[in-house]
Structure formats: structure tokens, C-alpha cells
């Protein structure tokens, strides 16, 4: 079984609860999903490199500016650091779908950027997400991709099992209740 050294995490719905309006627009709206900080701390202690890859089209939509996004990520980094957790990179796509960029998931750009910055090979990397676009981006980037049932995960699982996600078959995706369970599976491999 592959021993993973680098875990790339989607943000909304994996690390934090999705905000009521769809976008976290203020650091005060940041709420960690139960058990996530403990799971991240265990992964950090095990020496796994952690990074984040998140679509934030709210920036180019003009809902928040990039400065505000940075303050939200500062809040996230601060909470994490208090538990000994450090993210080696927080990669975000600010673009809207119609801009046709290569970074917005389901495109592989963000994940490729995270892989490149880490210096850890693709086959020692796993991406964990909750959306269809996460599964597609992970597949396009050619890395192992796991699904969690938090956030949009249950809907994604249903779509996956109905064969509704183009190019991805259910038997190729490992599914976990939440990041805590995914973490336990990761650590069992190391
Ligand atoms: Mg998500
Ligand atoms: Zn982009």
C-alpha cells in the first residue's frame, strides 16, 4: 500500500463548515468541522506535509477582496498553529468559471501547484475533497483522491454511485465519514 507523505485538502466542507451564503466572507464565519483540528494535528505529528487547494471565485465575483481572503486564511493558520499544525501552502483559485483558467477545480492546476511546491511526488500524495469537482481535479492531476461525507460529500457520493460523475467510477474512490476517519486510514498506512 502506498505510503502517503503529502495530504492536499479542499477547504470548505472538508476543514470548515460551509457558510450559509455559500462563501466564507469574514474570518468570524470560519468554523472548523468537529474533529478536524485533532485529525490535522495527528497528521502533522506523523510528519505528513499538509496543504490546501480551494476554489474561491467569490474574489473575482467581487463578494470579497483578496485581502479579506488572506485574513480568513490567517485565522485558519493561527488556529492550526496553536495545535502545532502548519500548512506548507494554501493554494486558491480566485477566478470565475467563465474565465476558463487552469486552476479552478475540476481543472488540475491548483493540485499540480501544491504538488510542485511540496517537492513530494504525485504518487506519495493524496487529495481529500467533498465535491464532484474535487474528484475530477484529483483525477485530472493523476493523484489518489479520497472523498469525505462532510460538506457536499453525501451528495457527491450519491452522484458517484449513480455514475453521474463523468470519468470517475465509484470503486476507484475511497470514501470516509469525515477527515478524522480519513486521517485514521492515512496513519494506518505509515
Ligand atoms: Mg469543498
Ligand atoms: Zn483559477
What are the φ/ψ torsions at residue 89 (nearest 5 degrees)? -160, 145
Decide: 133 and 54 in contact? Cβ < 8 Å. no
Q: Region 170-181: what's the mean pLDDT?
A: 95
Does the pLDDT at position 174 exceed 90? yes
Homologous superfamily of domain range 6-188: HAD superfamily/HAD-like (3.40.50.1000)
Show the cell assigned to 173. 474512490
pLDDT of residue 84 exceeding 80:
yes
Tell me, in angstroms, the distance from the centre of ligand 1 to residue 120's CA: 23
What pLDDT does 105 receive? 98
Q: Is 10 part of the annotated catalytic residue set?
A: yes
Please give the distance, rounded to the nearest whole angstrom, from the Cα atom of residue 157 to the centre of ligand 1.
13
Calculate how far, in angstroms, residue 104's C-alpha sits from the geometric centre of ligand 2: 4
**Alpha-carbon span 156 to 94, nearest angstrom:** 23
pLDDT of residue 159: 97
Considering 12, 28, 74, 178, which one is annotated as catalytic?
12
Which residues make up each annotated binding site for Mg(2+)?
A: 10, 12, 130
Report the C-alpha gap between 182 and 24 in whole angstroms.
24
68 phi and psi angles, rounded to 5 deg: -65, -40
For residue 59, the ligand closest to its alpha carbon is 2
- Give the whole-number percent of the chain exceeding pLDDT 90: 92
Q: Where are the alpha helices (DSSP H) in the chain?
A: 36-45, 66-81, 109-118, 132-141, 153-161, 179-189
Q: Could you say which ligand is closest to the alpha carbon of residue 52?
A: 1
- Strand 144-148 and strand 6-9: the pairing is unpaired
Q: What is the pLDDT of residue 189?
A: 84
What pLDDT does residue 172 have? 87
Q: Is the pLDDT of residue 158 over 70?
A: yes
pLDDT in tens, 27-66: 999 999 999 999 999 999 999 999 999 999 999 999 999 9
pLDDT band of 21, cuts 50, 70, 90: confident
Tell me, in angstroms, the distance from the centre of ligand 2 to residue 92's CA. Answer: 8
Q: What is the mean pLDDT of residues 103-127?
A: 97
Annotated binding site: 10, 12, 93, 95, 101, 103, 130
- pLDDT value at residue 190: 63
Cell (9 digits) for 140 = 485530472
pLDDT at position 2: 78
Q: Minimum-distance ligand to the CA of 105?
A: 2
Cα(95) to centroid(ligand 2), Å: 4
Q: Which of 10, 28, 65, 74 is catalytic?
A: 10
Based on its alpha-carbon atoms, the radius of gyration of the chain, rounded to whole angstroms, reads 15
Q: Which three cell numbers stand for residue 108?
A: 488540475
Amino acid at each position: 500500500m502506498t505510503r502517503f507523505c503529502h495530504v492536499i485538502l479542499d477547504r470548505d466542507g472538508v476543514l470548515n463548515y460551509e457558510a450559509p451564503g455559500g462563501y466564507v466572507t469574514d474570518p468570524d464565519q470560519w468554523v472548523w468541522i468537529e474533529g478536524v483540528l485533532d485529525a490535522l494535528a495527528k497528521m502533522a505529528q506523523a510528519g505528513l506535509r499538509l496543504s490546501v487547494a480551494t476554489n474561491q471565485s467569490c474574489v473575482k465575483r467581487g463578494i470579497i477582496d483578496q485581502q479579506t481572503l488572506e485574513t480568513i486564511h490567517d485565522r485558519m493558520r493561527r488556529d492550526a498553529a496553536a495545535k502545532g499544525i502548519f500548512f506548507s501552502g494554501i493554494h486558491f483559485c480566485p477566478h470565475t468559471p467563465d474565465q476558463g483558467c487552469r486552476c479552478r477545480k475540476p481543472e488540475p492546476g491548483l493540485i499540480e501547484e501544491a504538488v510542485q511546491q511540496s517537492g513530494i511526488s504525485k504518487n506519495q500524495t493524496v487529495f481529500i475533497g467533498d465535491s464532484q469537482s474535487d474528484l475530477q481535479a484529483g483525477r485530472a492531476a493523476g493523484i489518489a483522491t479520497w472523498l469525505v461525507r462532510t460538506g457536499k460529500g453525501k451528495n457527491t457520493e450519491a452522484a458517484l454511485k449513480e455514475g453521474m460523475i463523468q470519468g470517475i467510477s465509484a470503486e476507484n474512490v475511497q470514501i470516509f465519514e469525515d477527515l478524522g476517519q480519513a486521517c485514521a486510514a492515512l496513519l494506518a498506512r505509515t
